[in-house]
Amino acid sequence: MGFKILSIYPTVAATRIALFDEEKEIKRVELRHDPCDLLDAVTSEKQYDIRRTAVEKLFGGWISGADNIEAVIGCALLPSGMSSGVYLLDGEFSKKMRITRVEGRVINYGALLASFIAREMGARAFAMVPFESDEMDVIARISGVPGLCFGRLTHTLQIKNALRLAACDLKKPQNELSFVMAYLGHNFSFCSHRNGRIKDHSNTFERGPFSPARSGSLPAAEVIRMAYSGMWSKIDLMERAYYSGGLLSYTGAPDGDIDAVISRMEEGDVYSSLLIRAMAYQIASEIAAQAVVLKGRVDAIVFSGSCMENRIFAEMLREKISWISSKILTYRGEDELAMISDGALRVLRNEETPRSCGAFSSK
């Protein structure tokens, strides 16, 4: 028996929990919450109480029966500028969470619940900061308008996981390799990676290709005109760009389901074909742009995410970018519970030193 780790990942309507014995998953559960209850929970404390009550019921079942749990880990989003990685879930970390206010950041309940369960079980508590990156070159942050810069938000958890696997498959240390990485899930992130760090990145929150449900880059002048036309509220525009843009806005397919749109394309729908080809075109263009950051010296192009599980779309992309690198690697990247558990496992094995908010604050 190895290290046992409890992993927690909240979503908008559920709390997912899994128990691992090192890399092996023992069991998992998805605690579904009543949407009406969550909607009525107008403060972060009330929503946390709903989720904690659901988790407490598990203590009479398989959590209490899981002896010798060494660590509990959840996710959190912290102030901009915090590096991604595994953090000690201590008083300083909790202070950072209070400063940022939990409201609107559902993922933070993972860290709060991890702290609660760890206290109950006498285990070590960790938090994974999955989306922030402070590695990006300063030159890549310049936007063209003073006061506006490209941020640090990207799918760092999925990116780092895929790049570790790629380095292992290439049988070289990660800090000796140059990668272009594309995470193509419900949302997209891209990065250029060299010498063990992200040099530049983009994501569908700010710039880059449109995704199944996000707009990606938009023509700024037209957006400004829309904002002041009187026809759109701030909420309407945010909704169109971030939650119902991309394939969803064009096709009405649930969550911009790429498989559904490609099925329509295969049946001869010309409009669906245009949209899929446009998305592939934009993705290939962004991958090429990230290759420029590496001066064209790319050891491998690495893909992760659910869109790459569609064989037709994956082949469409490979045809467009194979000139950049002959080595194209694809990994699954949608199991956040396993990925954050792996982070705790690396710490328990002394392969990685957990970060400290106190150390960060003193820099």
CATH number (domain holding residue 46) = 3.30.420.40
Q: How far is CA 257 from the centre of its chain?
A: 18
Query: What is d(CA 28, CA 180) in angstroms, rounded to the nearest whole number?
Result: 33
State residue 363's pLDDT score: 38
Using an 8 Å Cβ cutoff, are 190 and 202 in contact? yes
State residue 79's pLDDT score: 58
pLDDT in tens, the chain (363 residues): 689 999 998 877 788 999 999 999 988 988 888 766 665 655 567 778 888 888 888 776 666 555 688 999 998 876 555 677 889 888 777 776 665 554 446 778 888 899 888 888 889 999 988 766 667 788 888 888 888 888 666 788 888 889 989 999 999 999 899 999 999 988 899 999 998 888 898 887 788 999 998 898 989 899 999 999 999 888 888 888 877 889 999 998 877 799 999 999 999 999 999 999 999 999 999 999 999 999 999 999 999 999 999 999 999 999 999 999 999 999 987 788 998 999 999 999 999 898 877 654 443
Q: Taking the alpha carbons of 257, 262, 265, 270 in that order, is the dihedral positive or negative?
A: positive
Query: What is d(CA 157, CA 85) in angstroms, rounded to the nearest whole number?
Result: 8
Instruction: Name the DSSP class of 123.
Output: -
| CA nearest neighbour of 8 among 112, 96, 119 | 112
Say yes or no: 147 and 281 in one domain.
yes
Sheet of 124-129, strand order? 24-32, 14-21, 4-10, 69-75, 124-129, 85-88
| CA nearest neighbour of 125 among 88, 75, 83 | 88
Q: Taking the alpha carbons of 351, 15, 121, 116 in that order, is the dihedral positive or negative?
A: positive
State residue 150's pLDDT score: 80
| Residues ≥6 apart with Cβ < 8 Å to 147 | none
Instruction: Name the DSSP class of 245.
Output: -
Say yes or no: 109 and 206 in one domain.
no
Say yes or no: 147 and 104 in one domain.
no
The count of domains in the chain is 2
- Domain with 201 in it: 138-331
Alpha helices in 252-335 (DSSP H): 258-266, 270-293, 311-321
Query: What is d(CA 347, CA 272) in angstroms, rounded to the nearest whole number?
Result: 46
Say yes or no: 94 and 179 in one domain.
no
User: HSE of 88 in the Cβ direction (CA atoms, 13 Å)?
Assistant: 11
Using an 8 Å Cβ cutoff, are 55 and 117 in contact? yes
State residue 55's pLDDT score: 87
Say yes or no: 238 and 308 in one domain.
yes
Which residues is 304 bridged to in the sheet?
183, 331
State residue 197's pLDDT score: 84
Q: Taking the alpha carbons of 164, 321, 316, 270 in that order, is the dihedral positive or negative?
A: positive
Say yes or no: 147 and 67 in one domain.
no
Query: What is d(CA 22, CA 5) in angstroms, rounded to the nearest whole number?
Result: 7
Say yes or no: 180 and 126 in one domain.
no
State residue 103's pLDDT score: 45
Say yes or no: 200 and 305 in one domain.
yes
Say yes or no: 340 and 297 in one domain.
no
Query: In the block, which residue shows the tokens 């394939």?
Result: 247
Record the pTM.
Answer: 0.78
Say yes or no: 97 and 152 in one domain.
no
Q: Which two tokens stand for residue 106?
A: 């559902």
Instruction: Name the DSSP class of 305.
Output: S
State residue 346's pLDDT score: 92
Say yes or no: 253 and 321 in one domain.
yes
Strands (E), 40-113: 69-75, 85-88
Say yes or no: 157 and 255 in one domain.
yes
